[in-house]
Structure 1
Amino acid sequence: MSSYKINSASDYAVGQKCELQAYLEIFDGVQRSKTSVSDPFGKFSSRTDDSPYALVVNRAVEKDRPEKVSLQVNSPFILQTFREVIKSYSPVASDFTSPFELQNPSHMLIHYWEELQAYRSSAVGELRDHVDLLFEFMDHELGGKREEILAMIQKNQVDYQSAWALFRPGDVLYTEVEGEPWLLICDKASYEKDVQSGPYFEVRCKYASHDGKKSGEAAHTIIMWQKEHFPAQSLASITSLPIFPRQFFNMGEELEHSLRLRGQRFLSFRDFSVMAYDGKAQYLKEPPFGFYSESKCKKLWCQFFVDHIQDVQWDQDAWNSLVTGEKEKLVLQSLVTSHQFSAKARDQTQQKGKGLVVLLHGTPGSGKTLTAETAAEGTHRALITTSVGELNKNNYPASFELDLKKILRYATIWKAIVLLDEADVFLEARNEDSRSDRNALVAVFLKELEYFGGIVFLTTNRVETFDPAMKSRIHLSLTYSPPEVETRRQIWLQYLHAIPKGKSNVDPEQSIQDLVASKLNGREIANAITTAQTIARFQNKPLDIFHIHTVLDVGRKFDESLTNGGAI
């Protein structure tokens, strides 16, 4: 051990003197003074040249504020120790190759106390002397605080002021998102304060992610409010915190194994896929960095949990379930199934004239939407549904063009089928009296349709005269009339046979004659059965023909009231 003999500064290189210099800086609100003080280890020298000293302690005291301690590390041996043991510590802007000042030294030194102690036990010579000096400072300055923290942690507890001790940069942390486990790497943690909500503790983390093209590092921040997680200065259970070190989560290596499998599955979705999802999702305005997709039912970009994603169970009998003329079905199935999507999806010039446009014309509830859904189901493709009202919600051609381009671009890349409902505004013949804004919309639509290489279904129920420019772009037109008796019979039987056994007492063959007497369209038949099933569930009974007739009778009374001029 060094004798700590006081020699002149010129006798030592920077940090070579195995002694500790200490200063006390006092600010009384008006004047700031700094004086040297005897250090607690009895190794103080009054020299003003600090660079030879291995360690320099600065204590700052301000009125009505807690004491602040910083540690200037000059010793090349202690720097070597930090390089070999700690390597890097993100809150500290140093690579430990040159002297630096360690603000609030308790965090880094307590975080690496055990590792530094193990390194000290094998050190020899001057290296051991300097590391011993470091530990004399640590024991005196931080030892009591460390013992208090360890006592709390051993009981799975921590207070707000000591929460930092749980979050060592580089350690693996555990959190959950809607009940799904997530492991992250701690980057740094800090105490902050919000003017309205008060103090909070912020944990910044990082994790590996993938945006569909390349992998990289992403960031995530979790906040713990003092008044919420540590009310009335109380201790909090470590595992009750929104994020905590992995070692406190009571689950063995199977957690890492399951997450590795999840990660492999995550990467399997790099290419375009149509998948089914049953779980919660987080809405996002734009698709950001990571595993995200567009929800077809919500028409929103969302973040999805990998474990809830599964292959779509396509209806292999979709085409047979479509109730329409056999000739019409043959032509439609042939065109849709045989359609070739361009391999150069992003090259719009290659798409010109390569699209397939199908017009579905008929009364509401006659099966137009179902036809487009069947085409998507039968070809195992996603169906993008929209309407003129959605695309032109701002009643502005430029906005309409942007939204239409986006829909068609997605459909081209995903090789999806587009259903554009209520397309009357594009189909009706234009004349000199047509409004300029409508003409602008039609011009935009015709241009975009010309360069769309996918499949689009247009539906309408009230067009009498077709625009020649639009008509020339339609490859197939199908007319839907209110279903006749035989068509209604097929629809009723299809829905009744689809009800699982044990949930219905209805004999489809015996009941069909009474049911087809009601002149309902396909949508009304589907709604009647759905409503009847709801009544049966409410009564905790299987579906009975009585439930269906109850719904039909209620609907019949409403129709009669309309026929009689609204008198009920």
Structure 2
Amino acid sequence: MAVAEGTETNGTGANGTEETPVQYEPVGTICDVRSLYQTKPDENDETSWSKEMPTDLPEPAEDAESAQYVLLVRKKKCYDGRKSLQIHSIVIQSEPLKKFLGKALGNYPGVTTSLERLEFEAPFKPIVHRWEDITKAREVEEDPTTKAHVDLFYKIMSEELKEVIDRMKDLVANGVIAFDLVWCIMEPEDVVISSRGGSLRAYQFSSLNSTQCGWEASVNYVEFDGTDFGFQSTEFAIDTFTGTVPITSLPLFPLKHLKDQEAIHAMLIARGKRWEEHKGYHYKAYEGPAMSRTMDERTGKEKETKYFVKSRVIIDAEGYNIFHPSTSVFTSIEIGKGLESDEQRLFATPWLHGYSLKDKEWLMFHLEMTKDIEWDDDAFKSLVLPQEQEHLKDVILAVAKAQSKKLDAFDDVVQGKGRGIIMQLSGPPGVGKTLTAESVAEVMKVPLYVMSAGDLGMNADSVENSLKNILRMVPKWGAVLLLDEADVFMETRAATDLARNELVSIFLRMLEYYEGILFLTTNRAENIDPAFESRIHLSLHYKDLDSKSRRHIWAQFLGRSAKTDTFTDEQLDQVAEVALNGRQIKNVIKTAGLLAWAQDGNLKYEHIRTVLALRDLPK
């Protein structure tokens, strides 16, 4: 076997000459163990390792002799001025006592009483939490051996825990708690309540850890990740306080300390059932607080931003994860496709993940603020077009409905291309182009996603990424897509404007693979790039409103206005002669309504005339 030359020598020989170096075996080849021993701390409280065994080793405390006893009680010095020693930990060695504690402690999380070595450490949380159960079980124990072992255990624990248990009982009886005993009322897997975020909700308590500022409580709740339900964890801080405070004033406290706990328990389960029903995709009306979660680049932690949302929203946790990946929804322990018990529904979060169509933001919405949409069944009827174009309304609606129900199975030669329906609406402002798309979506009872050039930006990469997400997102919801004032993406390309040419090319390419319903509105149809002609399925040009159309719009808007006096036919005829578009008519009525409100009266013809005069328009 090869050997390695070491740096040590055998010293100096009798004749004064150095002996040959010690020869060592190759690294890791001797089949044996070399023990090293930690040295005592030096003046800097640092330790090292030595080959020499310490000479002051204590005798092992646990051996065959100590194994004879029912209990091993480890004690340490106490410096609180009330006693010299306190129990550090206790080891249960009696099998009858282990079986007794197995029944008395029940399924206390984290405790397995059948272990060969069953040990509890101060502050003995399982024993404190289940002291009443232990006491009752002791009173009815009939086996003499078990009874003797239990009595011994009970005597020792009573002496050690008497002060804590008596204080806890006194505090709880008065509905209050001291900071140092908060852990006494927090039992693992307890139902705990918090109103953080302004909404009462339940959590499953997990653990309580001491921090520099107080306690940090870890809890679990049920979340939906777009595919499965599962548990997610969060933390609550309980800051240090002096004296006592009401238990129900803590940021987190057990449900059993509420007087109306049964009613709250039932309410939370019912809410959990409603929340469970929102899995998948849902289109709702929403008015109330919402939250946005983003990643703080400085701290690397999530931060919450509060919003007030009044919009139609799309509840879609799967979409939230796809299009808002920085704070995606995840679960640590999956439950499955549905909640199987009321206990799981009790811990359900009241927040839903989705998208606000008005705010164009992925947000969290509170379940209680979501409502069914009140559809305007007359929306399409209220769309006013010149008489010779009225029949086009039926054409638009028929094509949109057919596409929505996938009645057209036609596909392009290249699979996936040309499967959408693109309708171009052109004409001057205020003649009903945008209202057409809005009305179609309302009648079909599907979302309307409105975007403009400003939403997409003017940078080629930004436009492509935004379009890619939108054109993927909208068909998923079965929504109608409206690109309002799309001229910048549709105008004829020119050799002198390479940047805009790139935008047009990107837009054309993305449209090839769009599978939904798209409305494009433009005020300059004559400038559209020829390449769009092959991609547009239906092209409609809206004319300026005539007096008959304007009269119809005046009548509709006035009919919808609250506190409005009746207008005569003559008055309607007169205002219809003013050359306004639909948007301008709406603005005049709104301004006149504010004028009427300031004068504490109903909207009258005189208010309309006043506003028209201010616009300096011909009468």
- Shorter-chain TM-score range: 0.7 to 0.9
- Structure 2 residue 570 is the aligned partner of structure 1 residue 507: no
Q: Is residue 519 of structure 1 aligned with residue 582 of structure 2?
A: no
Secondary structure of the structure 2 residue equivalent to 1:363: coil
Question: Residues 536 and 135 from structure 1, CA distance in 2 versus in 1: closer, same or farther, beyond 3 angstroms?
Answer: farther
Q: Which amino acid aligns with 1:490?
A: H
The match for 2:594 is 534
The 1:382/1:46 distance shift into structure 2, 3 A limit, reads closer
Q: Quick check: 1:493 aligned with 2:555?
A: yes
> Residue in 1 aligned with 2:276?
267
Distance 1:46 1:219, change over 3 A: closer
Give the drift of 1:342: 5.2
For the pair 1:379 / 2:379, whether they are aligned, the reply is no
- 1:184 and 2:193 correspond: no
1:96-136 CA-to-partner distances (Å, cap 9, x unmatched) read 62425434334332211112222222333333333323322
- C-alpha distance in 1 between matches for 2:612 and 2:122: 77
Deviations 1:455-512 (A, max 9, x none): 0111222353221222211111222344332222111111111124xx2224364532
The aligned amino acid for 1:432 is A
Indicate if the aligned counterparts of 2:97 and 2:149 stay in contact, CA closer than 8 A: yes
Aligned with residue 83 of structure 1, among 94, 102, 105: 102
Report the TM-score when normalising by structure 1: 0.79
Look up the SS of the partner of 2:288 in the other structure: coil
Q: Can you list the C-alpha shifts for 1:57-91, whole angstroms capped at 9, x where unaligned?
A: 3436699xx9985313233444434433335555x
* 50 and 519 in structure 1: CA distance in 2 versus 1, 3 angstrom threshold: farther
Q: Which residue of 2 aligns with 1:10?
A: none
Partner deviation per Cα, 1:350-394 (whole Å, 9 max, x = no partner): 54212111112233333222111111101111011112221236x
Identify if the C-alpha distance between structure 1 residues 189 and 535 changes in structure 2 by more than 3 Å, giving closer, same or farther: farther
Give the secondary structure class of the aligned counterpart of 1:322. Answer: coil
Q: Which residue of 2 aligns with 1:110?
A: 128
Q: Is the 1:342–1:350 Cα contact (8 Å) retained in structure 2? A: no
CA pair 246-322 structure 1, distance change in 2 beyond 3 A: same
Cα distance change of structure 1 residues 527 and 77 upon mapping to structure 2, 3 Å threshold = farther
2:425 matched residue in structure 1: 360
Secondary structure of 2:363's partner?
Answer: strand
2:185 alignment partner in structure 1: 166
Partner-residue secondary structure (3-state), 2:508: helix
Q: Report the 3-state secondary structure (helix = DSSP H, G, I; strand = E; otherwise coil) of the residue aligned with 1:431.
A: coil
Aligned residue pairs, count: 504
CA distance in 1, matches of 2:137, 2:44: 43
Of 273-282 and 165-174, deviating more is 273-282
Unaligned runs of 5+ in 1: 1-27, 37-44, 194-198, 561-568
Residues 68 and 104 in structure 1, CA contact (< 8 A), matched pair in contact too? no
1:135: which partner in 2? 154
Report the Cα distance in structure 1 between the residues aligned to 2:226 and 2:542, rounded to whole angstroms.
42
Equivalent residue, structure 1, for 2:541:
479
Distance 1:29 1:119 in 2: 53
Aligned 8 A contact 2:404 2:478 in 1? no
Q: 1:314-463 to 2 correspondence within 5 Å?
A: 314-324=375-385, 325-341=389-405, 351-392=416-457, 395-397=459-461, 399-435=462-498, 437-463=499-525
- In 2, are the aligned partners of 1:87 and 1:95 still within 8 Å (CA)? no
Question: For residues 276 and 189 of structure 2, what CA distance do their matches in structure 1 show?
Answer: 24
Correspondence for 2:314: none
Letter in 1 for 2:147: R
Pair 122,160 (structure 1): closer, same or farther in 2 beyond 3 Å = same
- TM-score (norm. length: structure 2): 0.73
Looking at structure 2, the residues matched to 237 and 336 of structure 1 have their Cα atoms a distance apart, in angstroms, of 61
Question: Is structure 2 residue 205 aligned with structure 1 residue 205?
Answer: no
Whole-Å separation in 1 of the counterparts to 2:523 and 2:554: 23
Alpha-carbon contact 1:60-1:68 (below 8 Å) kept: yes
Tell me the residue number matched to 1:56.
73
2:10 matched to which residue of 1?
A: none
In structure 2, C-alpha distance between the alignment counterparts of 1:77 and 1:552, rounded to whole Å: 96
Question: How far apart are the structure 2 equivalents of 1:225 and 1:132?
Answer: 39
> Could you tell me the percent identity over the aligned residues?
31
- What is aligned with 2:285? 276
SS in 2 for 1:464: helix
Mapped to 2, the partners of 1:146 and 1:190 lie a distance apart of 20
Tell me how far 1:405 sits from its aligned partner.
Answer: 1.7
Q: State the superposition RMSD in angstroms.
A: 3.5
Code of the aligned partner of 1:480: Y
SS in structure 2 of the partner of residue 173 of structure 1: strand
- Are positions 1:307 and 2:348 aligned together? no
Give the direction of change, closer, same or farther, for the CA distance of 1:331–1:242 in structure 2 (3 Å limit).
same
The one-character-per-residue Cα deviations of 1:192-223 (angstroms, maximum 9, x if unpaired) are 23xxxxx1322221123333422222223222
Structure 2 CA distance, aligned partners of 1:29 and 1:101?
Answer: 35
CA 1:538 to 1:439, structure 2 compared with 1: closer, same or farther past 3 Å? same
User: For residue 72 of structure 1, what is the aligned residue in structure 2?
Assistant: 90
Q: Counterparts of 1:427 and 1:31 in 2: how far apart (Å)?
A: 75
2:353 aligned partner: 292
Q: 1:340 to 1:182 in 2, by over 3 A?
A: same
SS at match of 1:474: coil
What is the letter of the counterpart of residue 303 of structure 1?
A: M
* Contact persistence 1:341–1:454 (CA under 8 A): no
Larger Rg over CA atoms: 2
Q: Which amino acid aligns with 1:512?
A: L
Structure 2 SS opposite 1:281: strand
The answer for the alignment partner of 1:221 in structure 2 is: 235
Structure 2 unmatched runs, 5+: 1-42, 48-55, 295-323, 331-348
Offset of residue 308 of structure 1:
2.9
8 Å contact kept, 1:341–1:453: no
Structure 2 CA distance for partners of 1:101 and 1:529, relative to 1, 3 Å: farther
**Residues 442 and 59 (structure 1 numbering): CA distance in 2 closer, same or farther, change over 3 Å?**
farther
Q: Which residue of 1 aligns with 2:14?
A: none
Residues 100 and 323 (structure 1 numbering): CA distance in 2 closer, same or farther, change over 3 Å?
A: same
1:386–1:77: structure 2 CA closer, same or farther, 3 Å change rule?
farther
Q: Give the aligned residue type for 1:378.
A: V
Contact 2:73 2:87 in 1 (8 A): no
